[in-house]
Structure 1
Amino acid sequence: MNLDEVGRLALSHEGVKRKGTEARPAWYVDDRLVVRRLDPTSVVIRAGFAARERLLADHPDTFGVPPRFESHMMVVVELDRADPAAVTRAVAEAVELQRRR
């Protein structure tokens, strides 16, 4: 996967908007972060702690949690080895997590 694909995936959800900068684009729903470029090869996706643990267990080659993100409700996706179906699910879950109810 690449950043453009992740962006299109995020924007396919109702209410998601692109924000951030050209160098660090991010996608939000209801002004809450869904996904953001972390560096040239990875993005972070919002995930509840239980969902994050499931993603890590089910797709260890796609998702990771560096020490600096351990206390945050986020998971890191390494784009060059990402499973598109797993990322699709993670983004959809992030959108629902972040929607204002």
Structure 2
Amino acid sequence: MTPEEVDDFARSLPGCKRKGTTAHPAWYVDDRLVARLVAPDELVVRAGLAEREQLVAAHPDTFGVPPRYEGHRKVQAMLSGDAGAIRAALRAAWELQRR
């Protein structure tokens, strides 16, 4: 998945708006973070703790939890991984932030 594909998908979700910088765009719903591009090939995505563990277990080549995310409701997504799983994680983060 490319950063442009992430942008297209995230902005297709109702109420999801792009903010951040050109190098590090981020997508928000009502000023609540959904996802942020932290490197050209890496995205941080909001996720509940149980959902995060499920993503990592089901798609270990796509998702991970680096030490800096352990205490947060975030998961690392590598854009070279499963695009369908990344889209599903983005949709779940969008739904989480709409509550």
* Same topology, TM > 0.5: yes
Structure 1: segments with no counterpart, 5+ residues: none
CA–CA distance in structure 2, aligned partners of residues 40 and 16 of structure 1? 21
Structure 2: segments with no counterpart, 5+ residues: none
CA–CA distance in structure 2, aligned partners of residues 39 and 4 of structure 1? 13
Percent identity over the alignment? 57
Counterpart of 1:63 in structure 2 is: 63
TM-score, length of structure 1 as denominator length: 0.94
CA–CA distance in structure 2, aligned partners of residues 9 and 52 of structure 1? 20
Deviations 1:18-47 (A, max 9, x none): 000112100001110001011121010000
TM-score, length of structure 2 as denominator length: 0.96
2:95 counterpart of 1:96: yes
After superposition, the CA RMSD in angstroms is: 0.8
The structure 1 segments of at least 4 consecutive aligned residues displaced by more than 4 Å after TM superposition are: none
CA–CA distance in structure 1, aligned partners of residues 78 and 84 of structure 2? 14
Deviations 1:29-73 (A, max 9, x none): 111000101112101000000100000011000001111110010
